[in-house]
Chain A
Amino acid sequence: MQMTMIEALNSALALELERDRRVVVFGEDIGANGGVFRVTEHLQNKFGEERVFDTPLAESGIIGTSIGMAIYGLRPIVEIQFAGFLFVCMNQLVSQAARIRFRSAGAYTCPLVVRAPYGGGVRTPELHSDSLEAVFLQTPGFKIVVPSNPYDAKGLLASAVEDPDPVLFLENIKLYRSFRAETPTEHYSIPLGKANVVQEGTDVSIFAYGAMVNVALEAAKQAQQETGTSVEVIDLRTVWPLDEDAIAASVEKTGRAIIVHEAPRAGGIGAEITAVINERCFYSLLKPIGRVTGYDTPYPVPGQEDYYLPTPAKVMTALREIMEL
């Protein structure tokens, strides 16, 4: 069936609630309202207020209680209304959810999924567009998943729920309704930790995730048409831990790499990928690695955000440089 990412996520949540009695879904405005983006639409009606419910407006409360539930044996899937508000519950996420297994030497675990919309280009108020994934790189214990299309979103969410540890599941707001893709109505899963080669190429590898996969594909198309450059585009799908084998295999083939993300550059996924390439395939490199990212500033206001975000043109500039065109 052709689904938007919202419909695909909704379908995944409904299937998880159906398949597994331990699954509970909660957050702010996710009940009657179906979530501010409608990802949880109809779930409360279908599965009841015991398993799908609104909470008081308290992110730390949401994460803190979900940790208790996960330890008890439930499988909470909670929503933080916008990723920018993950800051409000950092203590519960970083020093608690991610460390339950560690602190108890495995006696207790925290199989928890935290969903949060993120990403720019949709003219939102402050802190509604920020990309926070890199903030969690120094939080061992968390996996970070960022789907780029409806099919992946559904399959990756299923795996996130089945994962024995906490997963941060970041959903790009711009991708929510921007296109439909063929998506099975039944349950399926896509493994966490595995990148996806969405377009094979031989001259240069572009690593991207979320909304930046399409930006990379567009630039790749343009590069092919205008300069005959063969671009390999890799969708990371899981941004932490990185699929280092996929990264190394691609760079060993192409000898050139560009990383695209909308999060700020400093200490980002791009920096980590650069380090991985350095460690694993330095001698395959023909040119310095390029990064096309958000700038090292706060995410700007709607009137300026188009300048902040990576675009196909910005990626093209990086491609020309790396290909010496």
Chain B
Amino acid sequence: MAIQTDPGLVPYQILDAGGNLVGKMPGISAERMLSLYRSMQVGRVFSNKIIALQRQGRATTFGSLVGQEATAVGLAAPMQPQDWLATSYREIASLIVKGVPIPTLAYSFRGFTPENWPAETHCLPVQIVIGTQMLHAVGLAMAAKIAGDPAVAVGVCGDGATSEGDFNEALNFAGVFQAPVVLVVQNNGWAISVPRSKQSAASTFAARGEGFGVPARLVDGNDILAVYDTMSKAIENARAGNGPTLVETLTYRIGAHTTADDPTRYRDAAEVEAWRARDPIARFQKFLIARDLLAEQRVQQLIEEVEEEINEAVRIAESMPPMAPDSFFDYVAATLSPRQQAQRADLLRYINQVIQ
């Protein structure tokens, strides 16, 4: 699918699809760039690993991250520890960058709720109900403003999510309250089987910012430097008290929607191939190699290191004990009602007497 743009709203690029510098380099160290590159590899390897585990019956449903690593990493990397992140299921790599341990995430894909979620990373658990997290991000940002804290919130959703009321209400609240929030739309071309063109008759989602009085940026979402630069500026702008920004990143979901999806039913292989040629990792890799920041021989070795890291994380996750069968009672509310306590006792009797 062609990238749709408004006249005058051209996607911001620093690296073109061939990895050539076509924009102004952001102020970023070589070390930082290598760390972004590595995080993108971590995202891809993690995604492929969980999908492989799912096929073996060792993981639950999982949505592929492949092709969207530049957006996921680039949006989280400029965030500070006190900043809040509210994402969908598609931004696991963002959570990793923000500090959520990989074994914790891997454990969640075993079908359990991690009982040691690192609250200090200020990452909300992934949101399944499409679009709702965008309002939470705005609320977190409004709270930071009310408290007078130098914290910013980032909310991320997909192109499909822009059709939900919550998304539009989030933009409106962000604008009206000048919340220190950055709302990111990862436009990956598809919402399961529904193409981008059927979500909105407007040519960009970024254009919606204007209707809500929120400045908007349209970015090449497969260009890590462009995403990083845009997000750094939007986040610091919010922190400085200058209000929200809407960011649309143009990217593509190379894989199936989830392990339960068969994309051959609704999209052309040719379209996927065209987007493979704009692979975000390959693009950045070319750039790093051309600049002598990364040695070509190092690439394979680095991927193997990342694979070992992910395998080790999965080993840790698989060696963690399963949740206690009745622990779902623990988190309903601060205290259980007598009736819930009785139900829990019933369940424990069933487990001890009947199924063991």
Contacts and interface: CB of A to CB of B under 8 A. Distances in A.
B348 to A, nearest CB: 10
Interface residues of B, number: 45
Given A29-B192, A57-B194, A303 B199 contact: no
Given A302-B60, A317-B350, A126 B128 contact: yes
A61 B200 CA distance: 13
B60 A28 contact: no
Given A125-B89, A296-B340, A33 B266 contact: yes
A60 B332 CA distance: 27
A295 B340 contact: yes
Contact of B194 (A29, A303, A313): A29
B193 A297 contact: no
Interface in B34-63: 60-61
A181 interface: no
Q: How large is the interface on A (under 10, 10 to 19, 20 to 34, 35 or more residues)?
A: 35 or more
B198 interface: yes
A60 B169 CA distance: 14
B165 A297 contact: no
6 contacts: A31-B193, A56-B200, A59-B164, A85-B130, A128-B128, A307-B351
Given A301-B113, A302-B111, A57 B199 contact: yes
Interface of B: 60-61, 89, 110-113, 128-131, 160-161, 163-165, 191-194, 198-200, 260-261, 265-266, 322-323, 325-329, 332, 337, 339-340, 343-344, 347, 350-351, 354-355
Instruction: Identify the interface centre among B89, B112, B129, B337: most chain A CB within 10 Å of its CB.
Output: B129
B347 A307 contact: yes
Interface in A42-71: 54, 56-61
Contacts of B130: 57, 85
A266 B342 CA distance: 13
A314 B349 CA distance: 10
A61 B163 contact: yes
Interface in A116-154: 123-128
Interface in A81-112: 84-85, 87-88
Given A28-B194, A297-B329, A302-B60, A57 B343 contact: no
